[in-house]
Amino acid sequence: MAAGYVAAGKHEDRATFELFLRRLPANRNFILAAGLEQAVEYLRGLRFDQAEIAYLRGLPQFANAPPAFWDLLAGLRFTGDLWAVPEGTPVFAGEPLLAVRAPIVEAQIAETFLLASIGFQSMIATKAARVVEAAGGRAVIEFGARRAHSPHAAIWAARAAYIGGCAGTSNTEAGYRFGIPVFGTAAHSWVQSFADEQESFARLQQLLGPATVYLVDTYDTLEGARRAAALGRPLWGVRLDSGNLSELSRAVRRILDEAGLRDAKIMVSGDLDEYKILELVAAGLPIDAMGVGTDLVTSSDAPSLGVVYKLVELESPAGTRYTAKFSEDKHTYPGAKQIFRYFDHDKVGCAWECPGCGCADAPPVRALLRPVMLRGELVEPLPSASVARSCAAANLRGLPAVCRSLYDHEHPYRVEYTAALQQLYEQAKKDARP
């Protein structure tokens, strides 16, 4: 398409694209925005080197590309504007998570990366928020690096899970990159590498001291717990990765308490998700932390988000044209937009609107989309993952309780469209040419 825009003389037209979700997954009441940091890194580094251009020149699809296209690629940089909701913001169907206003070639080339970054991380952050909600204040650790769809996905998933509320990750690379607290335990192979389980525990304690977490179910869980307890302090606690967690957690708690280790914690893991965790919590089990892996980093019950990136406005020498789709099941609204958040509902309107301005008794409202880049430059440093995590926690607490429900999906959060946006839609429909 980029070559086509150059060939058609449209490459200097300024386009506005918006990235949004048509509909929520069947078992989600909101989506927690994440992935903006990586989107910004991509836009700031957008360019093509000579080797990449040479490769593209060799593709048959570009046989008729005009010379001006190759000149454009050689000097390509992102020079546009980026508006976005902050990471950790809950959003709903039909609301733009971000908007790009730039020369159409720049905005179009960015489409795939933006969809992948925002879609994937928002999916994982949302899953994490649900898992953390189910845990009821108990720590949740992201344990999914080995089960993620790739090593790269594992790093992004750890970041998104942290923003969604996880206390930390077992992924040290993610900890290094994003300042996420790192947790972990020795694997069964550590225990098996020693002839004696007790020796494996003692060696681990010598190394880790108060951070020691014993994996006690390699052979016999209760006997493993007794051996761990016999070593006394320092330790953090023990981890149960298999078996009947209800029976074992109670029995292990008794063993630890009888050894005077009442402050030692019990972590559980093993194919956990929010529904299983909710059952464990409801049973009142003596569990202090959960390690959640596969179901978290793959968001197993909602493994993809239908995010789309649509052209909504185009400025050319002929004037400004507002663009939309008018098909029944996939219609879109034209023009650059803003999300206006009240406590119990949102309004999506034209970017220039100001609901309540000049009205003293207007209800409190927040505009969610904020400028992140202007003319290709970062407006201000982006918040850290830790700040985004705090933002997410505060925003989720501010939602109506039904939105945080793991089971009630019959009472969706209300999203309305302003009269001005509806009028723009009708005008765009009249102006559209088949």
| Residue ending a domain, choose from 198, 224, 257 | 257
Same domain for 236 and 307: no
- Total domains in the fold of the chain: 2
Same domain for 235 and 328: no
Q: What angle do CA 394, 399, 403 make, to 5 degrees?
A: 130
> From first to last of its 434 residues, what are the pLDDT tens digits of the chain?
999 999 999 999 999 999 999 999 989 999 999 999 999 999 999 999 999 999 999 999 999 999 999 999 999 999 999 999 999 999 999 999 999 999 999 999 999 999 999 999 999 999 999 999 999 999 999 999 999 999 999 999 999 999 999 999 999 999 999 999 999 889 999 999 999 999 999 999 999 999 999 999 999 999 999 999 999 999 999 999 999 999 999 999 999 999 999 999 999 999 999 999 999 999 999 999 999 999 999 999 999 999 999 999 999 999 999 999 888 777 899 999 999 999 889 999 999 998 766 566 677 899 999 999 999 999 999 999 999 999 999 999 999 988 999 988 888 899 999 999 999 999 998 887 66
pLDDT score recorded for residue 357: 66
86 falls within a domain? yes
pLDDT score recorded for residue 434: 61
Q: What is the pTM of this model?
A: 0.95
pLDDT score recorded for residue 163: 99
pLDDT score recorded for residue 361: 64
| Residue ending a domain, choose from 257, 273, 294 | 257
Query: What are the residues facing 90 on neighbouring strands?
Result: 32
User: Rounded CA gap, 326 and 311, in Å?
Assistant: 13
Contacts within 8 Å (CB) and 24+ apart, 323-330: 323/428, 324/425, 324/428, 324/429, 324/432, 326/429, 326/432, 330/22
Residues 6+ positions from 56 with CB-CB distance below 8 Å? 48, 62, 73
Same domain for 306 and 252: no
Domain that holds residue 240: 188-257
pLDDT score recorded for residue 214: 97
Report the amino acid identity of residue 40: V
pLDDT score recorded for residue 246: 96
Same domain for 229 and 314: no
13 falls within a domain? yes
160 falls within a domain? no
Same domain for 325 and 223: no
